[in-house]
Amino acid sequence: MLRYLAGLHGKSVFPAQGHLKHPYEAIGPGYQGGRVFGHIDLTHERLDTLKASPAHVRDQIRNELAGQQEDGLIPGVVTFDRKGEPSWKRGKGFPPLWVVAADECFRITGDKVLLAECRDALIRQIGWFERERTAPGGGFYYLDVVQKTWESGMDEGVRYDERPPAPAACVDATAHVFMLYDHAARWSRALGQSATPWEDKAKALQAFVQTELWDPETGFFYDRWTAHDAARRHLAFEGMWPVVAGAATPEQARRVIDEHLLNPKEFFTPHPIATVAVNDPKFELRMWRGPAWNCMTYWAARGCFRYGRKDAAAKLLGAALDATAADFARTGTIWEFYHPQLGEAKDLYRKAKGRHMPCDDYIGHNPLFAMADLWSECQQAQGK
């Protein structure tokens, strides 16, 4: 399976074009939309290829940041016209997970020149979020709160079936901006610059997450418009993001992990993690409304690892890798997303309209090398 995935990575690299000054990696030859660069897929690809080629990862970071607009927005989905010219939606952001890949690249290479470039871009992106996506009353939101643009990347997710009357803090967007502040502080320290402004912002936003987005009764994080309204809440996997980003208290993280991520009645399906808890009435076998995405299992495992729960991370990763390998042996491809109960891809749906099945030969949501490496690290830490 991993050899096949390595081949898909190779097939997905194309010559430099437009503002992309280095050969760029698309999200996979099987994607229904053709050649596409960027979004959270690119972060997964960089994390997956970092050990094999730090130089390739540096190139992808620079390609992504080269499109940053004057207002600080970093393009999400970059598409190409018939002449090969790149374009994107200039008012639509995306989850800024790129900082994690950049941080991992710096950890391995020690490249402070690249880190300085990343810090400058990060500060400009933070400015865009603060100007354009600050929610009234605190926190941050994605545009999905007010319109179906799927800025969060979670197309047709259950959290937006009933929207609030006005923009309100989203659990994923708020945790992601906390992550930006945290990286800005750490990168500033590494470059000998003041980290205080970013530390202060991170601390204030962390307090907001821990109080306003947390429900102590269920032990889970939610969007602000549902966090304290039991009738409107649903168990969607996005409630794990404060744990992934490090915004949760240790006790909150423990409850999210033990009561939810490792709960077979909720997210710990035979192929984890379900994107909506299997016991939630909104669960269905459609895209972000139930099926398992390996990338999100990876993020969940990183959150467990962050809070010292290597046992939990190993369980999540081991189950997902085994299930993916078994499916690969049966079908000969790597799918965009998977049946959480080990069923067939033909029984899954993408969106309400359009293509029925998940895309095949899809690398953007399958950081399987990174998952295997983290699983191995967890096993070694436990003496296994």
pLDDT in tens, 139-194: 999 999 999 999 999 999 999 999 999 999 999 999 999 999 999 999 999 999 99
Which pLDDT score, from 0 to 100, does residue 109 have? 97
Q: In percent, how much of the chain has pLDDT > 70? A: 99
Q: What b/e readout covers 132-168, taking b as 16+ CB neighbours within 10 angstroms?
A: ebebeebbbbbbbbeeeebbbbbbbbbbbeebbeebb
**pLDDT tens per residue, range 284-335:** 999 999 999 999 999 999 999 999 999 999 999 999 999 999 999 999 999 9
Confidence of residue 196 (pLDDT cuts 50, 70, 90): very high
User: First-to-last CA distance in the chain?
Assistant: 23
Cα–Cα distance for residue pair 66/78, rounded to 1 Å: 12
CB atoms within 10 A of CB 305: 20
Which pLDDT score, from 0 to 100, does residue 57 have? 98
DSSP character at residue 259: I
Residue predicted with more confidence, 82 or 246: 246
Closest C-alpha among 320, 329, 282 to residue 301: 320
Residues 6+ apart with CB under 8 A from 105: 46, 50, 54, 57, 58, 61, 111, 114
Which pLDDT score, from 0 to 100, does residue 211 have? 98
Partners of residue 236 on adjacent β-strands: 276
pTM of the model: 0.97
Which pLDDT score, from 0 to 100, does residue 362 have? 97
Which domains does the chain show, CATH number per domain? 1-96 (no CATH), 97-381 (1.50.10.10)
Which pLDDT score, from 0 to 100, does residue 183 have? 98
Which pLDDT score, from 0 to 100, does residue 353 have? 80
Residue predicted with more confidence, 4 or 352: 4
- Torsion angles phi and psi, residue 292, rounded to 5: -95, 130
pLDDT, the chain, mean? 96
Which pLDDT score, from 0 to 100, does residue 278 have? 98
Which pLDDT score, from 0 to 100, does residue 84 have? 82
> What value does the mean pLDDT take over residues 247-271?
98
Going from the C-alpha of 99 to that of each of 13, 47, 103, the distances in angstroms are 21, 11, 6
> What value does the mean pLDDT take over residues 42-49?
98
Which pLDDT score, from 0 to 100, does residue 192 have? 98
Which pLDDT score, from 0 to 100, does residue 325 have? 98
CA dihedral of 320, 326, 332, 338, whole degrees rounded to 10: -40
Confidence of residue 11 (pLDDT cuts 50, 70, 90): very high
Residues 6+ apart with CB under 8 A from 245: 175, 176, 178, 179, 182, 303
pLDDT over 90 (residue 41): yes
Which pLDDT score, from 0 to 100, does residue 151 have? 97
Rg of the Cα atoms in the chain: 19
> How do strand 37-38 and strand 24-25 relate by DSSP bridges?
unpaired
Which pLDDT score, from 0 to 100, does residue 381 have? 86
- Cβ burial of 93 (10 Å; 0-12, 13-18, 19+) is buried
Which pLDDT score, from 0 to 100, does residue 149 have? 93
The answer to whether residues 236 and 266 touch, using CB atoms and an 8 Å cutoff, is no
Cα–Cα distance for residue pair 340/358, rounded to 1 Å: 13
Confidence of residue 83 (pLDDT cuts 50, 70, 90): confident
Confidence of residue 356 (pLDDT cuts 50, 70, 90): confident
